[in-house]
Chain A
Amino acid sequence: MATLTEAVRSTPAGSARKRATRTRNDSSRAPATYYWMVWPAVIAFAAFHTLPVVVGIFFSFTNYAGYGAWNFVGLSNYLNLFRDDRVLQAYGFSFLFAIVATILTNAFSLAIALGLNAKIKARNFWRGVYFVPYILAILVIGYVFQFFFSNSLPKILSGIPLFRDNILTSETWAWTAIVALAVWQACAFAIIIYLSGLQTIPAELYEASSLDGASPWRQFRSITFPLIGAFFTINVVLSLKGFLQVFDPIVALTNGGPGTSTESVTLLIFRGGFSGGEFAYQTANAVIFFIVITVVSLFQFRVLQRREADF
C-alpha cells in the first residue's frame, strides 16, 4: 500500500491530476448542472439561517440589549434561565399544549383520512373542504376564532358558566381554546399526508383479509395502521415540533393571557427579547429551546421507527 502511494506521488503532478479528474467524472460525480441547483440554496441557507443562529449563540453569552455596548457574561444568562419560574412555566405550557394538540390532531386527521379514502359521494369535494384551513392565514382565522370565543359562544352556550364568561379569560381553560384552533388548522395538512399513505396500501391485502373473514377493525389494526407507520411517524414528529413552537394562534386568541398562563416559549422569547429589552437573555432561552426540540424529535424518530412495518 505504501509503495503504491509513493509510486503515484512520484509520477509527474500534472498527469496524476488529470487522471484523477477523469476518474471522478466518469464514475461517481453528477453533472455540474446539479451542483448549480444545490449551491444557491446552500449559500442562502447558510447566510440567512446558519449564520444568524451562530451569531445568536454568540450573543447568548453576552449582556447585549439589542443595541449599544455589551460585555461577555459567561454562562449567567443560562443559569438565570433555570431560576426563572416564568421560563419554566412557559416550557410546561408548551409541552402540555404540544402533547395534547399532537394526539388530537393525529387522531382526528387519521379518522377523517380514512373516511376521505373510502368510496364516499363527492369525495374530491370533501377532500377540498378539509384542505381549506391550510390555505387560510392563521392570524385571520385566529381573529375569527377570537370573535367566536368572546362574542358568539357566550351567547350560544350562555347556560355554561365557562363559555358564558369567555373561555379565553379563564386562567385554567384558555389553553383548550388555543388547542381547538391549532388542531383545526393542523388537521388539514396531516390529512393530506395520511391520505397519500393510505393510497400506497395495495387493495389485494384487504381483499385477502376479507376472504379470511377479518372485521374492519381488525383490518385497520393489522393492515392499515402498520402499513402507514412511516406516515404516522412523520406526522407525529412534525406536529409535535410545530406545536412546541406555537406562536400565531396564541397571539391571535389570548396574547399569552390571562396573566402569563398561555405564554409559550416562543412567545416569551419574542416578548422578553424585543419588547422587554432582554435580547441576550432570551437568546439563551432560544438556544436551550432549540436543543430541547432537537432532542425530542430525534427521540421520537428512534422510538416510532422501530414500530414501522415494511412490505
Chain B
Amino acid sequence: MRTTHRRWIRPLAVAAIAATAAAAGGCAQEPADGVTTLNFFQFKGEALEDFNEIIADFEAENPDIRVVQNQVADADTAIRTLLVKDRVPDVITLNANGNFGRLAQAGVFYDFSDEPVLDTINPAVQEILADLGTYGDEVNGLGYVNNANGIIYNQDIFDEQGLEVPETWDELIAVCDALMDAGIQPFYGTLADSWTAIPSWNALGAYPAQDGFFDKMREQGADVGPESEVSFEKDFAETMDRQYQLYSYMQEGYRGKTYDDGNAAFARGESAMLLQGIWATNPIKQVNPDIRMGIFPYPTDEPGESLLVSGVDVVFTLGKDNPKHDAAMRFIDYVFQPDVIERFAESQNMVPSVEGADLSDDPALQSVRPFFEDQRITGFIDHQIPPAVPLIPTDQQFLFDGDAEKALQTLDSEWAKVAARTIPVTGE
C-alpha cells in the first residue's frame, strides 16, 4: 500500500531498469554444467535479506538450480520495461495493485489454474487478486503475504477505559465519545500527507463496492453521472459521511501533521486509535517497542458483517512460455511451503496466504487472524480506480471542506472523462 505513494522513488527507476537489464542479460545463456539459473525479480526492499535466506536454503536442497535475486526500486516501471523488451524475468514478485491487474489482463503471465500449489492458498486472497484483473478466467498470480487495513488501537488505553472492540458503526462512535469524555484523543489525523486519508476511505468504501460496483462502473464508462445506474454520487454518500464523522474526532491541527508525526504520537499514547493499516505497526514499534496494539476492521451497521480490507502485499507470478518453467515452478513450490512462508510473514509482519500457516505472536496480527480464517476480507478499492482520477486530492479536499456532494461529483466526472479519452489499443 505504501509503496504506491512514495513520490521520490521514480527517478531511481532508470538505475533500476539498467541494473535489471544488465542482470537479465548476464544470465540469459544456459550454462554447460547442468545448473539452471533463475532470474528472480523482487520488488520489496525490506524483504531483500529474507529472500536471500530463502534462496540459500533452496539452493542447498536443489543444487541444480541457482537463483539470482534482483531487487528493483520502482518495480512497476521496471517490469513494464522488461515486458516491452520481451525480457521477462523467470520468477516475479510484485505488489498486487492496479498495475498488476492491468499487466495480468494483457496476458503476459502464466496461468496457475492447474498447479497444485494453488489449492493451498486462501481462496479469499485469490479472489482479491482476481478482482484486480486477469487474462480471461486464468489465475495469473499467487498471493504470498497480505496486509490488513483497519483501525489500529492501543490495547492499554482500551483496557484502562474498559472499552471493547466495536463491532458496529454505532459502537465505534460510542467508543469515540467515551474517549472524548475521558479526555483522551480518539484519533490522530495526518492530512499533511494527503494519502493518509485513503486507507479509511478504502475501508469504508469497501461496503458499497461489494456487489460488482466497479464492474458496472467500467461498463458505463463515459456515461457515469447523475443519471447512470451506479455512480459514486449514488452509492458513496454514506461512505463520505462516515469518513467525515471520524475526522471530527481528530486532534487540533490534524491538517498539518504528517504520517510520521501520527505514528510517533500514537506510539507515545497521545491518541487511542489510528486510521492506518498494519504497515504502520513497525514504525510505531520503533518509537515505542512496548506498545500493545490491535487492529479491528471499520465496522458497518450489523455486528458480524464487518469486512477487513486486505491487500496482497507480495504476489508471485511467472512469465508465459518460459523455457526454464519447471525450475521456476520448483522454486515457487518451495517458497509456498508452510514453514518457509511462516518465517517470511513473521519477519515482514504480514499475514501468510497459505492455509494452515501460522501467524506470528504479534498481537496486531493475531487480532486480524479470524477475518482471514473466515475469509471475511476484501480488496483495496482504490486499485479499481484509474490512476488518472485524482482520488487522493479530491478526498483530502473533502475532508477539509466537508462538501461530500462536490467530491463525489468530481470523482464521477473524472471517471467519465478518463473513460471517454482512453482509446484502447487495437491490434499490434
Contact = CB atoms under 8 A, between A and B. Distances in A.
Contacts of B390: 86, 259-260, 271
Nearest to A151: B256
Contact of B397 (A154, A258, A272, A281): A258
Interface in A252-279: 255-261, 263, 271-272, 274-278
Nearest to B400: A258
A165 interface: yes
A281 B417 CA distance: 12
**Binding site secondary structure of chain B:** helix
A166 B256 contact: yes
Contacts of A274: 10
Interface stretch (A18-26, A72-80, A236-244, A301-309): A72-80
Contacts of B413: 85
Nearest to A255: B194
Nearest to A170: B400
A120 B369 CA distance: 74
A271 B390 CA distance: 9
A67 B84 contact: yes
Contacts of B421: 76-77, 80, 84, 278, 281
A257 B388 contact: no
B80 A67 contact: yes
B264 interface: no
B426 interface: yes
Interface in B130-154: none
A67 B81 contact: yes
Given A77-B421, A166-B255, A260-B393, A272 B428 contact: no
B423 A154 contact: no
Interface string B155-175: 000000000000000000000
A12 to B, nearest CB: 57
A207 interface: no
Contacts of A166: 253, 255-256
B394 A63 contact: no
B387 interface: yes
Interface in B365-387: 386-387
A93 B282 CA distance: 40
B423 A71 contact: yes
A69 B401 contact: no
A83 interface: yes
A151 B261 CA distance: 12
B393 A257 contact: yes
Contact of A71 (B106, B414, B426): B426
Interface string B58-101: 00000000000000000000001101100000000000000000
Candidate in A73, A84, A151, A257 with the most chain B CB atoms within 10 angstroms: A257
A159 interface: no
Contact of A165 (B192, B255, B386, B427): B255
B397 A259 contact: yes
A73 B423 CA distance: 8
Contacts of A117: none
B142 to A, nearest CB: 24
A76 B400 CA distance: 35
Interface residues of A, number: 39
Contacts of A169: 191, 255-256, 400
A84 B410 CA distance: 12
Nearest to A272: B388
A80 B424 CA distance: 15
A150 interface: yes
B322 to A, nearest CB: 20
B396 interface: yes
B420 interface: yes
B253 A83 contact: no
A272 B387 CA distance: 8
Interface in B220-255: 253, 255
A168 B400 CA distance: 11
Given A154-B253, A166-B255, A274-B10, A63 B397 contact: no
Interface in A76-98: 76-77, 80, 83-86
Interface in A151-170: 151, 154, 165-166, 168-169
A69 B249 CA distance: 49
B182 interface: no
A286 to B, nearest CB: 15
Nearest to B5: A275
Contacts of B83: 67-68
A274 B7 CA distance: 11
A58 interface: no
B388 A171 contact: no
Contacts of B253: 154, 166
A171 B420 contact: no
B417 A258 contact: no
B425 interface: yes
A84 B389 CA distance: 12
A281 B420 CA distance: 12
A83 B84 contact: no
A70 interface: yes
Nearest to A70: B425
A261 B83 CA distance: 37
22 contacts: A67-B83, A68-B84, A68-B106, A69-B428, A76-B421, A76-B423, A150-B192, A150-B255, A150-B256, A151-B256, A168-B256, A257-B194, A258-B397, A258-B401, A259-B397, A259-B400, A263-B393, A272-B388, A275-B387, A277-B388, A278-B418, A278-B422
Given A171-B401, A257-B397, 18 more contacts: A63-B423, A67-B83, A67-B84, A68-B80, A68-B84, A68-B425, A69-B428, A70-B425, A84-B421, A86-B417, A150-B192, A169-B256, A169-B400, A257-B396, A259-B393, A259-B398, A260-B390, A272-B388
Interface of A: 63, 66-71, 73, 76-77, 80, 83-86, 150-151, 154, 165-166, 168-169, 171, 255-261, 263, 271-272, 274-278, 281
